[in-house]
Amino acid sequence: MTLIGIDASRASSTAPTGTESYSYHLIRALLPLLGKYESVRLYCREQPTAEAFPGAELRVIPFPRLWTHIRLSWEMLRDPPKVLFVPAHVLPPIHPRRTLVTVHDLGYRSFPEAHPWSQRLYLEASTRWNARVSSHILADSMATRQALVESYGISPDKITVVYPGYETDLHRIEDPETLAQVHMRYGLDRPYILFLGRIQPRKNLARLIAAFGNVLKRHPELLLVLAGPPGWFAETIRTRARELGLERHVVFPGYIAMEDKAALLSGARLFAFPSLYEGFGFPVLEAQACGVPVLTATTSSLPEVAGEGALLVDPLDTEAIEAGLSRLLEEPALRQTLIAHGTRNLVRFSWEQAAQQTAAILRQLAT
């Protein structure tokens, strides 16, 4: 029986963001497909919960630092699988001849100023290594595929676009009591515009805050909720709100628990995601799943992912962001049109479909 190994070190995070969520859901969807014909071994840095990955062989190999480069490399040298799949990190220096990796985005190249210099160097080196050394690459979007071709000269034939899925448990919540409880939990006592994602400059939050400040003059009842864990340079975002005198109108509730996400999204007047660069943009689909009108950017993968279910604006133009926010607040027909298109857009994305495509590539590499 062919042994397929999967790096699951990012799949058991207790506070997952995009790549961790991708790794977890794709692995879970892969297991029943691969388990019929292949043996699957998951390499974990820590013990996952009992129900996380049913049917898989778990190789739990704790190590304090440089887990991939030292500990996973040693495992590949000692007892390698036929194929190794790394869905959310970098290939170990020692690896099997046949490998599959996912490259999520190349945002550090398009907007280097939004990353610390040390992180830019690491991302440049690790992504170039992944792209050139791996047998095949999964890209989350056509935009990421094109960036790999242009940035690193990778052959398009080596890259397959496999769209991730989204959290199908997310749906619109109308129950007033449920909404009120979540709003109270996060201190939201007024109508609000919502952003959901990591708090860092690449998300274009400084311009969003400035645009919101102008919208606030016509809609003084509103809050801007910037929800998500802090990332690089997060304090600069808070500083911008203070500089504009908006600290009482801009709320930073931190990481949002999965059980609260649907209610927080459903209660928003609109979802604003004018990010400078995204390899995919999960929050756009999550907002569409909860029946919220979406504003997002004209750049990177975001038009590709949003389809017709979002109002697109130039993320570098603060006035365009302001105008987009105003339209979604003041034009009911536009709101309803975007919500309807967003619901239809979701059928293009599922973890089952992503797993089927990924399993086919893994089997091809194993032959």
Using alpha carbons, list the distances in angstroms from residue 108 to 60, 114, 278, 279, 282.
32, 7, 10, 11, 18
Give residue-wise pLDDT tens across range 254-268: 999 989 999 999 999
Please check whether residue 178 is in contact with residue 253, taking contact to mean a CB–CB distance below 8 angstroms: no
- Model confidence at 75: pLDDT above 90: yes
User: 226: which strand partners?
Assistant: 195
CA-based Rg of the chain, rounded to a whole angstrom? Answer: 21
Rounded to 5°, the CA angle 197-199-201 comes to: 115
Side-chain half-sphere CA neighbours of 8 within 13 A: 28
Please check whether residue 22 is in contact with residue 102, taking contact to mean a CB–CB distance below 8 angstroms: yes
The whole-number average pLDDT for the span 270-283 is 95
- pTM, two decimals, is 0.93
- Model confidence at 113: pLDDT above 90: no
User: Considering the chain, what is the average pLDDT of its residues?
Assistant: 94
- Model confidence at 38: pLDDT above 90: no
Tell me which residue of 84, 91, 85, 126 sits closest to 105, measured CA to CA.
126
Q: Which two tokens stand for residue 132?
A: 């050139």
When pLDDT is cut at 50, 70 and 90, the band that residue 200 belongs to is very high
The whole-number average pLDDT for the span 284-289 is 98
Per the model's pLDDT, the better-predicted residue between 192 and 12 turns out to be: 192
In the chain, what are the domains? 3-165+350-366 (3.40.50.2000), 176-348 (3.40.50.2000)
**Residues across the chain:** 367
- Model confidence at 308: pLDDT above 90: yes
- Model confidence at 12: pLDDT above 90: no
Which pLDDT score is estimated for 142?
96
Please check whether residue 171 is in contact with residue 133, taking contact to mean a CB–CB distance below 8 angstroms: no
Which pLDDT score is estimated for 15?
67
Which pLDDT score is estimated for 169?
87
* Phi, psi of 253, deg, nearest 5: -80, -5
Which pLDDT score is estimated for 242?
95
Q: Pick the range with the lowest mean pLDDT from 12-26, 185-199, 216-230, 258-272.
A: 12-26
- Model confidence at 50: pLDDT above 90: no
Give residue-wise pLDDT tens across range 315-363: 999 999 999 999 999 999 999 999 999 999 999 999 999 999 999 999 9
Which pLDDT score is estimated for 68?
94
Give residue-wise pLDDT tens across range 151-165: 999 999 999 999 999
Using alpha carbons, list the distances in angstroms from residue 344 to 28, 121, 299, 310.
25, 40, 22, 12
Distance CA 188, CA 168 (A): 26
